[in-house]
């Protein structure tokens, strides 16, 4: 299965346990979940665990045969991962969720369709902006914001002579990304 497979093809592949479909879903979505977890006091390993749990929930849903996904896979996995992460933080005493809330029910029944559509649109705009940004800016920003590499690591990875040059290049790339994103976002 190619990375250009449709969402329904990916879900059908997931339902059948198709390894390639699972890999494409992983490739297309893990960095978003990694960013969510790391930006909310988690680690790379936390992100892997949460993503795996969210993928298992999606797998179990598609296995029923009557599951209708009302958003993009990315939005669904993001919503489930966010709830799972908040629950984990709650168990660690780092976040409070009312005990009246049934997490499973809350995840799948209270998602506002308008919010989901807006998130889908925002993700698409950001993906397009990142793709238009080109290399090495795309990799530089992913290394800094998603992989949490330091300036000295970035300087070494991208061949800059010192950390100041890496910092300047990161800033320029970020400004270009913002310009590309907001040019589409305002439309």
Q: Is 50 exceeded by the pLDDT of residue 28?
A: yes
Q: Do 111 and 69 meet the contact criterion of CB atoms below 8 Å apart? A: no
Q: How many CA atoms lie within 13 A of 23 on its CB side?
A: 6
Place of tokens 């049934």: 102
Distances (CA, A) of 82 to 105, 158, 164, 175: 14, 32, 35, 28
Sheet strands (E) in the chain: none
pLDDT of residue 105: 45
Average pLDDT, the chain: 83
Q: Do 159 and 123 meet the contact criterion of CB atoms below 8 Å apart? A: no
Give the global pTM: 0.56
d(CA 164, CA 29): 32
Q: Is 90 exceeded by the pLDDT of residue 95?
A: no
pLDDT of residue 45: 92
């Amino acid at each position: 299965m190619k990375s250009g497979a449709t969402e329904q093809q990916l879900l059908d592949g997931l339902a059948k346990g198709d390894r390639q479909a699972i890999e494409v879903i992983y490739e297309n979505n893990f960095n978003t979940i990694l960013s969510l977890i790391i930006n909310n006091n988690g680690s790379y390993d936390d992100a892997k665990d949460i993503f795996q749990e969210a993928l298992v929930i999606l797998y179990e849903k598609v296995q029923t045969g009557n599951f209708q996904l009302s958003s993009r896979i990315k939005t669904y996995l993001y919503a489930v991962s966010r709830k799972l992460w908040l629950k984990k933080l709650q168990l660690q005493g780092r976040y409070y969720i009312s005990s009246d809330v049934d997490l499973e029910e809350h995840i799948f029944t209270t998602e506002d369709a308008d919010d989901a559509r807006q998130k889908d649109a925002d993700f698409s705009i950001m993906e397009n902006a990142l793709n238009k940004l080109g290399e090495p800016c795309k990799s530089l920003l992913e290394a800094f914001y998603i992989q949490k590499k330091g300036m000295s690591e970035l300087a070494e990875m991208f061949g800059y002579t010192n950390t100041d040059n890496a910092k300047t290049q990161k800033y320029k790339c970020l400004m270009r990304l913002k310009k590309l994103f907001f040019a589409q976002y305002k439309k």
